[in-house]
């Protein structure tokens, strides 16, 4: 655990340079605007520890799958979001010495990410080996408004000398991915061009051996101006062209105490959004447009755009600056990762903050991220996350066919970029099929929240049908049990592999069949022709198929312990030695200290599994049932997935186990800021940040939707004086404040609304607020 | 399936050149002498399909483990027997055209491996593009007597021209492994030297990053003579030296119809057997020695040595040439792979015939190969196989420690070269722990066969103790079942992974504890001080430890189906859809046609599992029990491991299911000769060849050891007129012939012997034979 980030309500601040943590800081200071993003690398050369990273959303490379022993059914490639052209470079050489914070003496240093505005700023004073001392001040942001562009204002001020500087402003496409096979680079150069104070570089991803996978072109452009003492000046620039690299170099005279600034406007346009023929021209026009707008105007727009986001987003925590900073950091990162403008994009586990896990989509999106966007963003944002999966339905059907399923059965991939499976561990790729259920559940969750039941007819039911067909084939009849069973699965708890009858997966499958059947019936009543269209995907006879589904619904096997009256995570769970986390305190984390087989045969749980199911379907269970299962499983849960604690916060909150809820919350909130798991240097845990948000809003706030109404069952952690959060709901925008035993509901926008507080209906008039003491 | 190898009782013959099958033929024509070996590559350049392979026993490289996702406990490297210096090269250029059977017209062609002598011979007539026609005749063998050497006689005879030839006789160490990571080469050059008609090349395996792994040096030497019209002639030779390559080149005039022969003597001496300082000198002396002996004398010795081997080995089958050829091929390959001279060596799955599976040791050795060597070779051969594991005991203890075991518990590796685990699939590496039991069983099997109970005190009990300690820690008490259980294992049937209570493994574990306890007691009675020494390996209290063992022995859980009265392969087996192989005829082999998850949740069995256990411990079960289990499991077994059918032959034979026994036998016997599995090009299935031998001797011959006596319960497959086999037993050498309902036992060597035939005692006097009709 690290503790070098200054606690501040709105900013992430590194006070004093910590080169030993530089890769962590680079992750924490990442910027994004949904369309592009990158790590908080320095603009100028840095020879110390650094992980360069710039990413263009939707641009990836199919890197050959690497395995020890090939298993039938493995995918051919792993889609990776790739490190793209570094557009941030501004190198400065002062009389033979290149500015490099790794070699210079750093006298003063602050690096600040202002979450109110999405601006990364650095102020430092350094001394070169010649004794020359200068100030560097840089500001950088990725525009939310012009979301294919970024801008930098980079200034130096000589403090004790006059002389000259050589400045190189570059676009560098000669980059690689840290985790590529054999260090292979993924880009080819297509063209490059330089002009006076400008440069353009078009790169194309390498043609892969997988012929169906497209290549992508990205044109990166830049234009820069130079200012001295606040005046724009005209410097003679010299073009430099190298393989996959263009730059402009110029010399400038430095006066002691006089600031020299370079304002660099850059844009990344990709062939995902522009025709290849027009890519170069469009990039030039784009750079021209933003340069014309100018730094100050862009910054003003940026501030306004972020302010608007925060209006619908913010969570305030009173009396705990560290918690306040953490929750805002999580919200900020989620918002800059996915803006919901483009249904072809999704949320990678590291967002734009690193390349680990390939930037691909997991079930995290549906199970953890969706509720965040439902509450905090326009409806279309969550809807686009759902449409993303609808767009991949055909690929999911093909994926299922590869594994022997038929008749339109769909298995969504564990990890994907374009709908094709990319994971390559059999126990996950082929067996962690509960992801299919989470995708179905998200449709239900979205409609429950938004009331947009039209989505079902338009898109949702096609997805549900494919998924239900999968479940109906994936179970088999056990003559021995005289029940349907589901063999060979891996549940959310990945510390069990290839188990039979994972309770969570079985429950999800049956729920899914039921929900699909109900949705069929309601659609049939409303829109016979659309119903016919969906059913008609295959020639299977509707009534035979749905009778089979009904039979499964009525005859599914669920492992259960009659003695303890708890659901069993899977068959044979009680054969394990039932220890608790306290018994193995010194041996944690077990994923670092134990061999894999030992983990597998232990009772220890990586992340909520039965409890995850009871969270999804809480209305099916009594509080006493929940308590028995929580008391049984919670002591065995090691939470070695960052996605685990949030569910425990929500369940503990519901059960009134306040200390446990808070303890779990703390574990997730500052995961990256304090580098709990020693891996923030690889990038941030973006999807688990949504879990942190859920911990506050669904856990402490107790937010649910019940019978088309928002419902709250809040409790205030003792460590806080109060907290408040914003949430949207069907045209209303509410601010919810909890203080003591009182909840105040402010109806900021929208008509009168009726909500539930601990089950009691509360009406809040338009533009007014109501307090309820519970 | 291929059918181009001529059926012949003693030879493997390719009549007419089959370039499309050349890699298969190279595998089939492999030569070995226990110390070195290689594939049946042509001596001269060949530009067609070929897999070059020369191997030096005990010389390997630790290639970095390649995995998709690392799991804690994986080994760092995979030990690979590496492709070594190609010492066979003799290239011939005739007036500008290099002889190459891929470009020349091949008019006549025979390639023959004579199994009586271990000589590979080739006769062919080829036409060059110039129209020049010539005969090639080559003979090559690896000497059994001088087992660090090989010799080649390579002759060409111009048929329609006179002119000159340029001949290059080489040692080429610039070789690579087909399956190396990134095509990396594993050898560095240490030194090279050429002289008149001779050359020496010393190579060293690359230093690996694993500091504890040694490098190996191999010096390869050659000396050659040239003969024309039967007369040795002196040619002027020109040395050629390149990186990792030495050669001698000479010119010779060719006369029409006059044979020119090159006799090339070569030796491979490794630092495993010679000091590095003396390696070069010893190689020179060795080459000198064999060259002096000369080709004809070496060939005569070779014939005598193989004849002696066949005396104790041969199986004769009357009325079925294909079966006769097949069984001899299997015996031949086993004998040339492992001679039992060196306890540091073992039997790789491909022997000296290919590089697949890295040439490392599996449990195949103990479970399948040991009985072959027990019957057919001197006692020391089998004993050295056991000592090999004793030598690795400390590594097995360290291996177990890596996985969290303690107190001297030993887990032998799944695959190994030097005792360290090399496999990297968690479900096998960490879970296919039944291998540990096979290693214990082999000790029992060896003593039962040889009566060498002294082995137990000397070596065996130390190994048994380590293994039993492992089992005692690997089980856990299930409060639910009030029994010991063994969770998370993979049985011999690798089409199930990570199952609980694999019947075979549980049975083996309990047997092992029992046998170790019994062995303790008998040693204690005989040799208290040695007993103390073995027990004293750790400070654990003997009586507490053995009481725990006893408790496990008495309280182990074994899955059982009360309805069918069969042992269940593992927990939950009856939840599967119980189909038979006939139901999926068109979908086989399932390992090529089904995805891995589908295989796992099906009932289909890769190789005998419960039936393997009932084979090992047949005296524990009634014939009716065996029949019930055979009838249950056999129809579900797909035999997609080459090690499977032999156990089914033995069990079917015992149950009198003659057709099934023969059907299974056919499946194994010509596996490589007819390339059943389309993979003979990678090398031969050496260890499964021992299974074929078992099929005949233990299956059709019904050979067992019962109460220190050899026992036979033969039956003659209807397809044969008769068969006979040789077997040694405690100083006797017997020839057993079965014809009709009569068994003839010939006591070739040794004193009067009493054997059992269908349970009835039969005494066979010294140097006489007795027939029994049953």
**Higher per-residue confidence, B54 vs B209:** B54
Nearest CB partner across the interface for A480, out of B73, B480, B575: B575
Quick check: A500 and B572 CB within 8 A? yes
Q: A477: nearest CA in chain B? A: B577
CATH classification for the domain delimited by A5-291, as one of 3.40.50.2300, 2.70.98.40, 1.10.260.40, 3.20.20.140:
2.70.98.40
Residues 6+ apart with CB under 8 A from B115: B10, B11, B12, B328, B329, B332
pLDDT at site A219:
98
Lowest-confidence region among A471-485, B244-258, B351-365, B651-665? B351-365
Indicate the burial class of A529 (C-beta count within 10 angstroms; 0-12, 13-18, 19 or more): exposed
pLDDT tens digits, A540-586: 578 889 999 999 999 999 999 999 999 999 999 999 999 999 999 89
Indicate the burial class of B103 (C-beta count within 10 angstroms; 0-12, 13-18, 19 or more): middle
Section A319-328 average pLDDT: 94
Indicate the burial class of B294 (C-beta count within 10 angstroms; 0-12, 13-18, 19 or more): middle
pLDDT more than 70, % of chain A: 99
pLDDT band at B631 (very low <50, low <70, confident <90, very high): very high
Residue A482 to residue A426: CA distance in whole angstroms: 29
What residues of A are in contact with residue B436 (Cβ under 8 Å)?
none
Residue A372 to residue A354: CA distance in whole angstroms: 22
Look at residue B450 and give its three-state secondary structure.
helix
Is pLDDT at A539 greater than 60 in this prediction? no
Does B542 reach chain A within 8 Å, measured CB to CB? Answer: no
Q: B576: nearest CA in chain A? A: A478
- Cα distance from A491 to chain B (closest Cα, Å)? 14
What residues of B are in contact with residue A478 (Cβ under 8 Å)?
574-576
pLDDT tens digits, A2-35: 889 999 999 999 999 999 999 999 999 999 999 9
Which A residues 384-403 touch B at CB under 8 Å? 402-403
Residue A39 to residue A25: CA distance in whole angstroms: 9
Is pLDDT at A116 greater than 60 in this prediction? yes
- Cα distance from B591 to chain A (closest Cα, Å)? 7
Is the N-terminal amide bond of A589 cis, ω within 30° of 0? yes
- Cα distance from B602 to chain A (closest Cα, Å)? 9
Section B391-395 average pLDDT: 97
Is pLDDT at A246 greater than 90 in this prediction? yes
CA atoms within 13 A on the CB side of B504: 28
Tell me the CA end-to-end span of chain A in Å, nearest whole number. 38
Which A residues 609-628 touch B at CB under 8 Å? none
Quick check: B596 and A426 CB within 8 A? yes
pLDDT at site B497:
97
> Which residues of B belong to the active site?
494
Quick check: A430 and B596 CB within 8 A? yes
Residue A139 to residue A265: CA distance in whole angstroms: 12
Residue B334 to residue A4: CA distance in whole angstroms: 66
Please identify which residue in the block is written with the tokens 């079942």: B481
- The Cα diameter of chain A in Å comes to 89
Is pLDDT at B540 greater than 60 in this prediction? no
What residues of A are in contact with residue B498 (Cβ under 8 Å)?
427, 497-498, 600
Does A572 reach chain B within 8 Å, measured CB to CB? Answer: yes
Residue A549, marked binder = no
Is pLDDT at B66 greater than 90 in this prediction? no
Burial B10-42 (b: 16+ CB within 10 A, else e): bbbbbeebeeebbbbbbbbbbbbbbbbbbbbbb
Quick check: A595 and B487 CB within 8 A? no
Quick check: B73 and A595 CB within 8 A? yes
Which A residues 703-722 touch B at CB under 8 Å? none
pLDDT tens digits, B607-623: 999 999 999 999 999 99
Give CA B504 to chain center in angstroms: 24
What residues of B are in contact with residue A422 (Cβ under 8 Å)?
none
Quick check: A597 and B73 CB within 8 A? yes
Which A residues 642-681 touch B at CB under 8 Å? none
pLDDT at site A209:
82
Residue A18 to residue A30: CA distance in whole angstroms: 17
Reference B467, options B418, B505, B423, B524; nearest CA is B505
Would you kindly state where each structural domain of chain B is located, as residue ranges? 5-311
Q: B182: nearest CA in chain A? A: A182
Is pLDDT at A136 greater than 60 in this prediction? yes
- Cα distance from B589 to chain A (closest Cα, Å)? 12
Distance set, CA B764 to CA B232, B711, B740, B749, B750 (Å): 55, 13, 20, 11, 10
Quick check: A497 and B498 CB within 8 A? yes
pLDDT at site B257:
96
What residues of B are in contact with residue A431 (Cβ under 8 Å)?
597
pLDDT at site A448:
97
pLDDT at site B158:
97
Element (H, E) at A165: strand A163-172
pLDDT tens digits, B144-156: 999 999 999 999 9
Token representation of residue B30? 């492999």
Residue B491 to residue A291: CA distance in whole angstroms: 68
> Which residues of A belong to the active site?
494
What residues of A are in contact with residue B430 (Cβ under 8 Å)?
595-597
Is pLDDT at A183 greater than 80 in this prediction? no
Q: What is the 3-state secondary structure (H, E, C) of B366-390?
A: HHHHHHHHHHHCCHHHHHHHHHHHH
Is pLDDT at A186 greater than 80 in this prediction? yes
CATH of domain B5-311: 2.70.98.40
Lowest-confidence region among A602-611, A660-669, B719-728? A660-669
Q: What integer best gives the mean pLDDT of chain A?
A: 95
Token representation of residue A100? 């490099």
Quick check: B66 and A65 CB within 8 A? no
Nearest CB partner across the interface for A575, out of B66, B404, B487: B487
pLDDT band at B182 (very low <50, low <70, confident <90, very high): low
Residue A328 to residue A10: CA distance in whole angstroms: 7
| Per-residue DSSP letter, B681 | G
What residues of B are in contact with residue A487 (Cβ under 8 Å)?
572, 575-576, 600-601
pLDDT band at B307 (very low <50, low <70, confident <90, very high): very high
Q: What integer best gives the mean pLDDT of chain B?
A: 95
What residues of B are in contact with residue A638 (Cβ under 8 Å)?
none
pLDDT at site B101:
98
pLDDT at site B488:
98
What residues of A are in contact with residue B182 (Cβ under 8 Å)?
182
- Cα distance from A58 to chain B (closest Cα, Å)? 24
Residue B364, marked binder = yes
Indicate the burial class of B410 (C-beta count within 10 angstroms; 0-12, 13-18, 19 or more): buried
Does A597 reach chain B within 8 Å, measured CB to CB? Answer: yes
Is pLDDT at B538 greater than 70 in this prediction? no
Section A271-295 average pLDDT: 97
Quick check: B601 and A487 CB within 8 A? yes
Angle, CA of A414, A419 and A423, to the nearest 5°:
35
Quick check: B487 and A574 CB within 8 A? no
Section B241-253 average pLDDT: 97
Beta strands in B350-487 (DSSP E): 476-478, 483-485
Query: Which of B415, B488, B577, B583 would you mutate first to test chain A, the one with the most A CBs within 10 A?
Result: B488
Token representation of residue B637? 């077994």
Residue A698 to residue A714: CA distance in whole angstroms: 9
Beta strands in B479-611 (DSSP E): 483-485, 560-561, 566-567
Q: B487: nearest CA in chain A? A: A601
Nearest CB partner across the interface for A597, out of B69, B488, B574: B488
Q: What is this structure's pTM?
A: 0.94
Proportion of chain A in helix, strand, coil states, percent, rounded to 5:
35, 25, 35
Residues 6+ apart with CB under 8 A from B296: none
Residue A402 to residue A400: CA distance in whole angstroms: 5
pLDDT at site B537:
56
CB atoms within 10 A of CB A532: 12
Element (H, E) at A164: strand A163-172
Quick check: A67 and B72 CB within 8 A? no
Residue B548, marked binder = no
- The Cα diameter of chain B in Å comes to 89
Residue A514, marked binder = no
pLDDT more than 70, % of chain B: 99
Count CB pairs under 8 A between chains A and B. Answer: 132
Please identify which residue in the block is written with the tokens 């929208």: A750
Is pLDDT at A184 greater than 90 in this prediction? no
Nearest CB partner across the interface for B402, out of A69, A403, A595: A595
Burial A138-172 (b: 16+ CB within 10 A, else e): bbbbbbbebbbbbbbbbbbbbeebeeebbbbbbbb
Between β-strands B31-32 and B5-6, what pairing exists: parallel, antiparallel or unpaired? unpaired
pLDDT at site A537:
57
Query: Which of A428, A572, A599 would you mutate first to test chain B, the one with the most B CBs within 10 A?
Result: A572
Give CA B100 to chain center in angstroms: 32
């Amino acid at each position: 655990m690290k503790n070098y980030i200054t606690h501040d309500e709105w900013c992430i601040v590194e006070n004093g340079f910590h080169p030993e943590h530089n890769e962590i800081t680079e992750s924490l200071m990442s910027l994004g605007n949904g369309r592009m993003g990158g790590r908080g690398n320095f603009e100028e050369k840095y020879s110390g520890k650094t992980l360069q990273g710039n990413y263009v959303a939707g641009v990836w490379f199919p890197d050959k799958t690497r395995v020890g022993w090939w298993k039938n059914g493995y995918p051919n490639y792993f889609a990776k979001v790739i490190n793209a052209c570094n557009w941030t470079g501004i190198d400065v050489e002062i009389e033979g010495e290149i500015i490099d914070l790794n070699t210079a003496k750093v006298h003063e240093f602050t690096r600040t990410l202002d979450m109110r505005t999405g601006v990364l700023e650095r102020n430092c004073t350094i001394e070169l080996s010649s004794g020359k001392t200068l100030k560097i001040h840089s500001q950088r942001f990725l525009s939310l408004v012009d979301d294919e562009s970024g801008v930098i204002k980079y200034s130096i001020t000589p403090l004790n000398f006059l002389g000259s500087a050589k400045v190189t402003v570059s676009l560098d496409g000669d980059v690689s991915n840290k985790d590529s096979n054999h260090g292979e680079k993924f880009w080819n150069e297509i063209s490059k061009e330089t002009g006076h104070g400008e440069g353009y570089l078009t790169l194309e991803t390498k043609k892969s051996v997988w012929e169906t996978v497209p290549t992508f072109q990205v044109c990166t452009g830049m234009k820069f101006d130079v200012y001295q003492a606040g005046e724009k000046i005209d410097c003679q620039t010299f073009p430099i062209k190298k393989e996959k690299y263009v730059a402009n170099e110029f010399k400038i005279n430095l006066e002691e105490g006089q600031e020299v600034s370079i304002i660099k406007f850059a844009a990344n346009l990709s062939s995902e959004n522009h025709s290849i023929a027009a890519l170069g021209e469009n990039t030039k026009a784009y750079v021209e447009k933003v340069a014309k707008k100018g730094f100050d105007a862009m910054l003003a727009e940026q501030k306004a755009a972020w302010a608007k986001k925060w209006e619908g987003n913010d969570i305030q925590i009173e009396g705990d600056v560290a918690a306040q900073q953490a929750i805002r950091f999580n919200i900020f990162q989620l918002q800059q990762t996915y803006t919901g403008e483009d249904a072809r994009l999704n949320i990678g586990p590291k967002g734009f903050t690193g390349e680990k896990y390939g930037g691909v989509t997991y079930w995290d999106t549906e199970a953890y991220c969706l509720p965040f966007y439902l509450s905090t963003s326009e409806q279309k944002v969550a809807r686009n996350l759902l449409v993303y999966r609808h767009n991949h339905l055909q690929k999911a059907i093909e994926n299922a066919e590869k594994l022997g399923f038929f008749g339109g059965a769909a298995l969504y991939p564990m990890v994907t970029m374009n709908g094709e499976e990319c994971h390559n561990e059999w126990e996950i790729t082929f067996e962690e099929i509960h992801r299919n259920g989470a995708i179905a559940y998200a449709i239900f969750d979205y409609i429950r929240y938004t009331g947009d039941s039209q989505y079902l007819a338009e898109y949702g039911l096609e997805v549900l049908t494919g998924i239900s067909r999968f479940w109906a084939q994936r179970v088999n009849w056990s003559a021995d049990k005289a029940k349907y069973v589901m063999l060979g699965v891996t549940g959310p708890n990945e510390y069990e592999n290839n188990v039979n009858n994972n309770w969570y997966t079985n429950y999800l499958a049956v729920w899914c069949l039921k929900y699909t059947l109900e949705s069929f019936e309601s659609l049939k009543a409303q829109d016979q022709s659309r119903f016919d269209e969906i059913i008609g995907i295959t020639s299977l006879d509707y009534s035979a198929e749905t009778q089979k589904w009904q039979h499964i619904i009525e005859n599914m096997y669920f492992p259960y312990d009659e003695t303890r009256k708890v659901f069993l995570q899977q068959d044979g769970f009680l054969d394990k030695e039932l220890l608790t986390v306290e018994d193995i305190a010194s041996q944690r984390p077990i994923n670092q200290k134990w061999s894999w087989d030992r983990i597998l045969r232990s009772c220890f749980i990586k992340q909520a599994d039965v409890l995850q199911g009871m969270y999804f379907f809480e209305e099916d269970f009594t509080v006493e049932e929940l308590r028995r299962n929580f008391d049984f499983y919670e002591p065995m849960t090691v939470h070695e997935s960052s996605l685990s604690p949030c569910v425990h916060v929500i369940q503990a909150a519901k059960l009134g186990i306040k200390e446990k809820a808070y303890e779990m919350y703390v574990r997730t909130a500052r995961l990256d800021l304090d580098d709990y798991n020693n891996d923030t240097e690889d990038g941030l845990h973006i999807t688990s940040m949504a879990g942190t948000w859920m911990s506050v809003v669904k856990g402490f706030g107790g937010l649910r939707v019940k019978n088309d109404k928002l419902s709250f069952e809040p409790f205030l952690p003792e460590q806080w004086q109060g907290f408040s959060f914003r949430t949207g709901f069907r045209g209303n925008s509410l601010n919810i404040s909890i203080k003591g035993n009182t909840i105040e509901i402010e109806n900021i926008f929208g008509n009168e609304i009726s909500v539930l507080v601990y089950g009691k209906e509360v009406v809040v008039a338009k533009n007014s607020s109501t307090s309820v003491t519970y």
